[in-house]
Structure 1
Amino acid sequence: MTLHFPREEFAARLERLKARMREEKLDALLLFAQESMYWLTGYDTFGYCFFQSLVVKADGSMALLTRAADLRQARLTSTIENILVWVDRSNADPSMDLKNLLVDMDLLGCRLGIEYDTHGMTGRTARLIDNQLVSFGELIDASTIVSDLRLIKSEAEIRHIERAALLADDALEAALPLVAAGADEAAILAALQGAVLAGGGDYPANNFIIGSGEEALLCRYKSGRRILQAQDQLTLEWAGVSAHYHAAMMRTVLIGEPGPRHMELYDACTATLQDMEARLKPGHTFGEIFDALARSLDEAGMTRHRLNVCGYSLGARFAPSWMEHQLFMAGNPQAILPNMSLFLHVIILDSERNAAMTLGQSYLTTDAGPRSLSRHGVDLLRR
């Protein structure tokens, strides 16, 4: 069996979940988020892109409904003992199998929490489930219950996060020597990803971001590669990954002699990141971190060039995104607490002058303040 945590760790997580279910007066929770299943049991698969659900009763008993291709996956990677398979066939409706499972688990007429807000729950799946269960019991949107529990990391989780951060640093050191005029983005990208895999890490939950020239102003992955020019800019966003736990980093590297606009943007980035770091501790909220960014960049005249989010919680995530639910955005009341792993980024994209500058770093929160998880500072990277 392949488990990344001791069974005692999973048992403690289940107790935390049961306590939260009692608070919400839930008789059972229907999990559809792969992150939730992984956190609770170790179950590791990409089969969540098809229909599957882990049913957790208030007494802690569990049953997984999945496809035949994931039966052995669940047996090998999880603590789940009760695994049922729905049969792939034309016009199959696995929501009926789920309803029958809930009957067998004596949950008819009960209060059922359902994870709707997840990539494992398509619109079609939601409609099928609602149609099957609308008169079966009381349905509650419980999308954030496990997600909220996952915000605070255990010591065992922190060890994986620190390992992921080490791999992120290794990736930067492997890729940076390749950045020069005439370099192919493909070689730089291969060095980033190769360092993580060679170090024993995993694939990331979303593609690494690489873009130069005008594409340095993109903060999403796109297909296609470019050759770096003598005067250029290269934006990179990547993550080290250990047992699906992510530690992200982001930088814009300047090739050639920096112009005054790039230096102006870099100075704004560093000053803003310092303002955000000063508030990244208990006693503040996620919304206050964004307020610090908005105030700093607005005062620097960068309002048109900033984004409306400046980071998010990190953890064990699956495709298509390593971003957690909790974002640093205006009005988010989520309190910053010790032992959160968080990613702060300052992204300035000046389309008028075709100039980009980004800084992104992962942190572990403590009572005293944030601890950067990277051994690298935020000095301007020039090649």
Structure 2
Amino acid sequence: MALHFTQDEYEARLGRLTAAMRAEKLDAVLLFAQESMYWLTGYDTFGFCFFQTLVVTADGGMVLLTRSPDLRQARHTSNIETIQIWIDRANADPTMDLKNLLSDLDLLGARIGVEYDTHGMTGHVARLIDNQLSTFGTLVDASSLVSRLRLVKSPAEIAHIETAAALADAALDAALPLIRPGAGEADILAAMQAAVLSRGGDYPANPFVIGSGADALLIRYKSGRRMLDTQDQLTLEWAGASAHYHAAMMRTIAIGTPSNRQRELYSACRETIQAIEMVLRPGHTFGTVFDVHARMMEERGLAKHRLNTCGYSLGARFAPSWMEHQMFHAGNPQEIAADMSLFVHVIVVDSDSGAAMMLGQTYLTTGDSPRPLSRFGLDAIAL
């Protein structure tokens, strides 16, 4: 087995999950989120785009139901001992195999939690699950059961997060010498990704974001590259990844002399993150963080140019996104605790003037002040 953590670590995670299941009065849980399976067992694949589920019973038993291409993947990367295969065939319904498995586990009439809210659960699969199991037992939406447990990181997880942060810094180190008038976005992007991979890091859970000129206002990756002009702006959002644990960063860099509007937006972004740092600690909630962000933007006349979130929790994530479910948005009651890995960003996109400014970095929370994980800090990048 090729595991990233000790068996003691995995046993502790399983113990936390079964305790949470008992608290929710669940006899079993069907895990469909690849992040949940990975956190619990080490199982590492992209085969979750097809039907597969990890059945966990209240006594700590585990059975993986998956396709044949992932049999050896599971044996090599996880501590799962029992693996069953459903057969690819015309009109296959793997939920029938699942019902038979649950029956063999003596779970008829049981209270069963299901991870519905995940990229590993399509609407088609959800309908099949409900049709097959609605009369078999009581189905409960347990989408947040494991994700809540994953919010606070162990020392071993923090070590990977710190490695990921160093990889993110290395990516920026590789990019900076290339950012100049006449440079190609493709060369910058290639250098950043190579810096992560060549140092033993992973592919990120979503593509790096790169955009210049008008595309600097975009917040997602898009196909197509351009060359930088003498006066330009370049937005980058990227992450280092170690054992799938991510540390993200975000910057908008001015090429040539920054405009007064760019300077104004940068100051607003920096001041807002500094204000957020004062509440990014135990005793506050994710909603409190957003409230600070919204107030700072409002005071600077930027309310219409901001987003409705200003960051999220990070951890071990798989495609299509490195964002975890807990986000800094209005009214989120999730409490901040020590040893959370949190990405804080302030994004201002002024379509009226065509100016963009984005600033963000990953923090590790403590019992007091949060610890930024990048050595670059919040200073504007001078080229």
Q: What is the TM-score when the length of structure 1 is the normalising length?
A: 1.00
- What is the letter of the counterpart of residue 274 of structure 1? Q
- What is the letter of the counterpart of residue 285 of structure 2? T
Aligned length: 383
- CA shift digits 1:167-199 (9 cap, x unpaired): 000000001110000000000000110000011
Q: Distance in 1 between matches of 2:247 and 2:67?
A: 31
The equivalent of 1:351 in structure 2 is: 351
Report how far residue 381 of structure 1 moved: 1.6
The equivalent of 2:78 in structure 1 is: 78
The equivalent of 1:273 in structure 2 is: 273
Task: Within 5 Å, give how 1:41-120 maps onto structure 2.
Answer: 41-120=41-120
Task: Within 5 Å, give how 1:178-327 maps onto structure 2.
Answer: 178-327=178-327
The equivalent of 2:27 in structure 1 is: 27
Q: Distance in 1 between matches of 2:298 and 2:90?
A: 56
Report how far residue 290 of structure 1 moved: 0.3
Structure 1 stretches of 4+ with a deviation exceeding 3 A read none
- What is the letter of the counterpart of residue 111 of structure 1? R
Q: Distance in 2 between matches of 1:155 and 1:369?
A: 18
- CA shift digits 1:307-353 (9 cap, x unpaired): 00000000000000000010000000000000000000000000000
Q: Distance in 2 between matches of 1:377 and 1:20?
A: 38
Q: Distance in 1 between matches of 2:266 and 2:325?
A: 28
Tell me if the contact between 1:183 and 1:228 (Cα under 8 Å) persists in the aligned partners: yes
Q: Distance in 2 between matches of 1:55 and 1:368?
A: 39
2:17 aligned counterpart, secondary structure: helix
Q: Distance in 2 between matches of 1:41 and 1:377?
A: 35
- What is the letter of the counterpart of residue 311 of structure 1? G
Q: Distance in 2 between matches of 1:87 and 1:369?
A: 53
- What is the letter of the counterpart of residue 108 of structure 1? L
- What is the letter of the counterpart of residue 24 of structure 2? E
1:157 aligned counterpart, secondary structure: helix
2:201 aligned counterpart, secondary structure: coil
Q: Distance in 2 between matches of 1:329 and 1:382?
A: 32
Q: Distance in 2 between matches of 1:194 and 1:65?
A: 35
- CA shift digits 1:87-132 (9 cap, x unpaired): 0111100000000000011100000000000000000000000000
The equivalent of 1:40 in structure 2 is: 40
Q: Distance in 1 between matches of 2:382 and 2:263?
A: 11
2:338 aligned counterpart, secondary structure: coil
Tell me if the contact between 1:256 and 1:382 (Cα under 8 Å) persists in the aligned partners: no
Task: Within 5 Å, give how 1:132-211 maps onto structure 2.
Answer: 132-211=132-211
- What is the letter of the counterpart of residue 151 of structure 2? L
Q: Distance in 1 between matches of 2:266 and 2:357?
A: 6
Q: Distance in 1 between matches of 2:168 and 2:3?
A: 23
Structure 2 residue runs without a partner (length 5+): none
Q: Distance in 1 between matches of 2:194 and 2:144?
A: 34
Tell me if the contact between 1:233 and 1:252 (Cα under 8 Å) persists in the aligned partners: yes
Report how far residue 382 of structure 1 moved: 3.2
